[in-house]
């Protein structure tokens, strides 16, 4: 990765699997993006540039800082590759996030997924720390005892805890109606959901994303053209 490659990505702009963050000061500025992208096909993050103004801010974030964040707050574990690119006595950090194969992924106990370029939390979360959960007091937490996501993620139509402490609320009547709609019409969009259910754009967005997180729907397209279909 060279500066010329960064310039090319700036020209291409942000997309479903690419995000520019001009500043990262706290873990919460980055963590949801890492988890959201891993849950949504992977992607790349470039820290230290304002893609809209082309202003180079630079960053002090390092691979070690990212590794610590991943080890202490993200589950299941996965590797994020980082590359520092120097320019005018500053450096930007390029992160490559793999397409996760163990969804759902959690950051600080909440599951996230990228929708329209935004990491969005669903109703799935970790209620308690796992014995193997990587934390400052357990930095060497072993992955050997981590159960598969299938044993952690609850049945989407139940509202209860499992033995591992993961909870997921039951589907709402609106979500059940949306599933029936897609079974008949093959897809649904945010604007259709709003019209049928009489809810705001934000509510429709969150409830549709929740169905994606539950692996009932999958999203296709981006922005206003995003549509949701059944996960066959």
What integer pLDDT is reported at residue 115 of this predicted model?
76
Q: How much is the pTM? A: 0.60
pLDDT tens for the chain, 232 residues long, are 888 999 999 999 998 789 999 999 999 899 999 999 998 889 999 999 999 888 999 999 999 999 999 988 888 889 999 999 999 899 999 999 999 887 778 888 788 888 778 888 765 665 555 433 444 444 444 443 333 333 333 333 333 333 333 344 578 888 999 999 999 999 999 999 999 999 888 888 888 888 887 788 998 887 788 899 998 7
What integer pLDDT is reported at residue 168 of this predicted model?
47
What integer pLDDT is reported at residue 185 of this predicted model?
94
The string of DSSP codes covering 21-89 is ES---SHHHHHHHHHHHHTTT-EEEEESEETTTTEE------HHHHHHHHHHHEES----EEEEEEETT
All CATH 3.30.950.30 domain ranges of the chain, comma separated, are 1-145
All CATH 1.10.10.10 domain ranges of the chain, comma separated, are 171-232
Options 3.30.360.10, 3.10.180.10, 1.10.3470.10, 3.30.950.30; CATH for 1-145 is 3.30.950.30
Q: Give exposure, 77-103, as e/b (b: 16+ Cβ within 10 Å).
A: ebebebbebeeeeebbbbbebeebebb
The CATH code that applies to domain 171-232 is 1.10.10.10
């Amino acid at each position: 990765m060279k500066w010329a490659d960064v310039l090319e990505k700036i020209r291409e702009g942000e997309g479903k699997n690419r995000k520019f963050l001009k500043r990262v000061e706290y873990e919460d500025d980055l963590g949801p993006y890492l988890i959201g992208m891993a849950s949504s096909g992977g992607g790349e993050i470039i820290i230290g540039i304002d893609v809209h103004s082309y202003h180079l801010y630079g960053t002090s974030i390092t691979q070690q800082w990212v590794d610590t964040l991943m080890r202490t707050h993200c589950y299941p574990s996965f590797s994020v590759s980082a590359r520092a690119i120097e320019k005018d006595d500053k450096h930007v950090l390029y992160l490559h996030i793999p397409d996760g194969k163990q969804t759902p992924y959690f950051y600080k106990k909440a599951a996230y997924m990228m929708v329209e370029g935004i990491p969005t939390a669903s109703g799935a979360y970790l209620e308690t720390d796992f014995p193997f959960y990587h934390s400052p007091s357990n930095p060497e937490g072993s992955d050997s005892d981590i159960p598969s996501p299938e044993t952690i993620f609850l049945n989407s139509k139940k509202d209860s805890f499992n033995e591992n402490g993961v909870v997921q609320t039951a589907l709402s009547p609106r979500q059940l109606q949306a599933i029936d709609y897609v079974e008949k019409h093959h897809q649904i969009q945010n604007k259709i959901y709003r019209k049928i259910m009489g809810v705001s754009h934000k509510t429709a967005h969150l409830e549709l994303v929740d169905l994606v997180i539950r692996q009932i729907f999958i999203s296709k397209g981006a922005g206003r053209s995003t549509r949701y279909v059944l996960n066959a």
